[in-house]
Structure formats: C-alpha cells, structure tokens
C-alpha cells in the first residue's frame, strides 16, 4: 500500500490533479495495487482558508506520505500580497521543508507531436533531455535578501546567489547517477566566466565526475546553453544546473516538446519526493475543463518509477500517453490539424485510462 498526499492548489491544479488521481485509481485496479490518497491545501487555496500559503500540518502530512502529488499554485487573486505570503512561497516552503534538492524535468519530444513545436521538425525530432535542477539553494534561498531604503530615499532590492560544496556535490552526484540510466552524458551549465558561485560549481562538478568515469562531462555557459537548446537540442542528454538557471532552461526545453502542458517533474530529497507538472496554474483557462492533464499524469508515472519502484507500471502509463497522442487526441494547448480530435481535460484522462493495460 502506498500513501499519496495530493495538493491540488490553484487555477487548473485541482482539475489536472483530479484527472491524475482518476488515472492512479485505474492503475491500482489494473495492477492490483492500493493507493491511499489524502488531499490538503497549498498556495492560494491555503491562503483563503488559513491566511498563509503553507501550514505546518500539511508539511507533517507530506512527511508521513510515501509521495506527494502537487497541481499548481498562484493566480491574480493573490498577486498583491507581500512576498512571503504569496502562493509561490508555499511551493518554495514545501520544497525546503522536505529537503527536495533535486528537480528532475524530462523534456521528451513525442513523434506524434513533432509538428506541435514552434521549431522545425528536423530540429526537435528525437529530442530527449533531462534537466536536473538544483531546487533548495542558489538565489532562490540565499541570504542576505530584501528591499532596503538608501539614504537618498531610493531603494535597493537584493538577493544572493550562493552554493556550498555539499550542495553542489549532491546534485552533481544525482545527475551522474541518472545519466548512467540514459546516454551517459552530463552537461553542467553555469556562468563561471562571471559568477564566483559558478566557479565553485564547475570545480565541484568536475571533482564528482571523477567518481563516474563512464559518464562524459561537458560544461557550458548558460547563455550559450539557452541558444544551443533551440539550435541543436539533440546534443543534450542530462543537463545539471542551478536553481535559477534550471527554472529558465526547463521552460525553454518545454517548448521543444510542443507545449509546457506535456512536462512532468519530480522533486526529490533523500527520502521524500514531490511530483508536479512544470506548467503553472493557468488562471485564464481554470475551471473550464480545457487544461492538458498529461504533464500531471506523466508526473504520476515518475512517482510510480522513482518513489514506488514500479517500473513496469510506470512504463505502461507512459505508453498510454504516447498511444493517446498517436491516436490523434489533443487538448487545446497542442497544435492540431484536421486529423486530430480536440478533447477536454477529463476526457483526455479517460482516454489514457482506456489505454493502460
């Protein structure tokens, strides 16, 4: 039996999590598994109920679960709250509280979606990248930070990009381990021509690489990487990078696949893990059954693989997603031609279930 805490959050979060939970139910029935799910609040939904985006009780529940499934946080309703009370602070808070330092964001281009990308089909076809983003350090959490008054009445806003040796070591090690199950290539992305924290990053990653002689390591500056991702994405296997660079590059990588609505993620610590789609809360389409649930369903597939060690079951979910796309079903975020059939969020979930066996 596996205990799953669901945190639907805001915007389209509740819709995609509900559909993914439906898929998990179907998986349980098909493969004779038991998933016990419990739901709790995070982000704006938690602000409305408790006045803050993440309460301790939810952190405790997450710690007791075998895995956490999150939808999305944020929306215009909470945009003007002060920084530490915004929905996003709930997401950052749970990442920190659970020690989820490694964020895995696979960007894989499905054959049936090669035309969905804004890039040429020859460029994106066959792309299969895993972005390994450091998630609990860097400029997101570094101190000092704040907004202060200057003597002349102007203000200064500041954050700190900081990484320690152990922080770099553990994320690098994770990237190398994951590369061993793929094409054994790691590209470490930094800005070591300018930033001291990147100089250390590069040194430590190079050290860790010595323990993985079977994995090929390369280094790239982040500006070049941003360019190479759209110039020749197939050159990448695993990209390992800092929190901020990973945030930006993973959105860019998402667009290779045709839609950010396709990208799943896993945020992992030593023991705990949280799974969430890379897309946000998309308030403009919330509550209209238009959202693409595939990123969340694929996040569940990652949960089955990484948290429950159910590799075959995970693959069957991934295959069902592949099949549904091959069969021509598309949500509105995916480009489509006359041969495709547009479906809503719930229907997409049902079609995936139909293909799980």
Tokens of 310: 């159910």
The residue (of 42 and 65) whose beta carbon lies closer to Mg ion is 42
Query: From the list 91, 172, 266, 321, which residue makes contact with ligand IPM (rule: CB under 6 A)?
Result: 91
Tell whether residue 96 is among the known ligand binding residues.
no
Tell whether residue 292 is among the known ligand binding residues.
yes
13-31 and 294-306 helices cross at what angle (nearest 10)?
A: 50
Alpha-carbon Rg of the chain, whole angstroms? 20
The residue (of 35 and 247) whose beta carbon lies closer to ligand IPM is 247
Min dist CB 92 to ligand IPM, Å, is: 6
Residues 234-253 that bind ligand IPM (CB under 6 A): 247
* CA–CA separation, 352 and 19 (whole Å): 10
Tell whether residue 86 is among the known ligand binding residues.
yes
The listed partner (Mg ion, ligand IPM, none) that binds 91, CB under 5 to 8 Å by sort, is ligand IPM
The residue (of 125 and 267) whose beta carbon lies closer to ligand IPM is 267
Min dist CB 261 to ligand IPM, Å, is: 14
* CA–CA separation, 295 and 16 (whole Å): 9
Q: 230, 129 in Cβ contact below 8 A?
A: no
Tell whether residue 298 is among the known ligand binding residues.
no
The listed partner (ligand IPM, Mg ion, none) that binds 186, CB under 5 to 8 Å by sort, is none
Q: Is 247 one of the binding residues for Mg ion (CB under 5 A)?
A: yes
Tokens of 327: 């069969």
Q: Which stretch binds ligand IPM (CB under 6 A): 19-27, 86-94, 120-128, 302-310?
A: 86-94
Q: 168, 196 in Cβ contact below 8 A?
A: no
* CA–CA separation, 34 and 228 (whole Å): 44
Catalytic sites, residue numbers: 140, 191, 223, 247, 251
What mask, x for binding ligand IPM by CB under 6 A, covers residues 44 to 83? Answer: ------------------------------x---------
Tell whether residue 172 is among the known ligand binding residues.
no
Tell whether residue 75 is among the known ligand binding residues.
yes
Q: Which stretch binds ligand IPM (CB under 6 A): 88-96, 191-199, 316-324, 336-344?
A: 88-96
- Tell me the number of residues near ligand IPM by CB under 6 A: 5
The residue (of 167 and 247) whose beta carbon lies closer to ligand IPM is 247
What mask, x for binding ligand IPM by CB under 6 A, covers residues 137 to 176? Answer: ----------------------------------------
Q: Which stretch binds ligand IPM (CB under 6 A): 87-95, 157-165, 175-183, 194-202?
A: 87-95
Tokens of 263: 């990208």
Query: From the list 22, 28, 85, 88, which residue makes contact with ligand IPM (rule: CB under 6 A)?
Result: 88
Q: Nearest residue to ligand IPM, using CB? A: 88
The residue (of 136 and 316) whose beta carbon lies closer to ligand IPM is 136
Binding residues: 75-88, 95, 105, 133, 223, 247, 251, 280-292
Binding residues for Mg(2+): 223, 247, 251
Binding site for Mg ion (CB under 5 A): 247
Binding site for ligand IPM (CB under 6 A): 74, 88, 91-92, 247
Binding residues for NAD(+): 75-88, 280-292
């Amino acid at each position: 039996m596996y205990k799953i805490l669901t945190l639907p959050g805001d915007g389209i979060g509740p819709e995609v999590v509900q559909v993914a939970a439906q898929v998990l139910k179907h998986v349980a029935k098909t493969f004779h598994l038991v998933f016990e799910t419990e739901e709790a609040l995070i982000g704006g939904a938690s602000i409305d109920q408790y006045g803050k985006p993440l309460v301790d009780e939810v952190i405790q529940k997450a710690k007791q679960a075998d895995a956490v499934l999150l939808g999305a946080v944020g929306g215009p309703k909470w945009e003007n709250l002060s920084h530490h009370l915004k929905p996003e602070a709930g997401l950052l808070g749970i990442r920190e509280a659970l020690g989820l330092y490694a964020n895995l964001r696979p960007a894989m281009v499905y054959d049936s979606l090669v035309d969905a990308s804004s890039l040429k089909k020859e460029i994106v076809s066959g792309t299969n990248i895993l972005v390994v983003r450091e998630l609990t350090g860097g400029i997101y959490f570094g101190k000092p930070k704040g907004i202060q008054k200057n003597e002349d009445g102007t203000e200064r806003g500041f954050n700190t990009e900081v990484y320690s040796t152990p922080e770099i070591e553990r994320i690098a090690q994770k990237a190398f381990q994951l590369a061993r199950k793929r094409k054994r290539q790691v590209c470490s992305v930094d800005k070591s021509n300018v930033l001291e924290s990147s100089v250390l990053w590069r040194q430590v990653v190079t050290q860790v690489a010595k323990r993985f002689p079977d994995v090929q390591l390369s280094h790239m500056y982040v500006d070049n990487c941003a360019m190479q991702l759209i110039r020749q994405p197939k050159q990448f296997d695993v990209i390992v990078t800092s929190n901020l660079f990973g945030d930006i590059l993973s959105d860019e990588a998402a667009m290779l696949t045709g839609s950010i609505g396709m990208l799943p993620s896993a945020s992992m610590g030593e023991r705990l893990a949280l799974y969430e789609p890379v897309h946000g809360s998309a308030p403009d389409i919330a509550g209209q059954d238009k959202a693409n649930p595939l990123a969340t369903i694929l996040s569940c597939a990652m949960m089955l693989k990484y948290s429950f060690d159910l590799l075959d079951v995970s693959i069957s979910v991934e295959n069902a997603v592949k099949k549904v796309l091959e069969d021509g079903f598309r949500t509105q975020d995916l480009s489509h031609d006359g041969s495709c059939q547009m479906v809503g969020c719930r229907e997409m979930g049902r079609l995936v279930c139909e293909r799980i066996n």
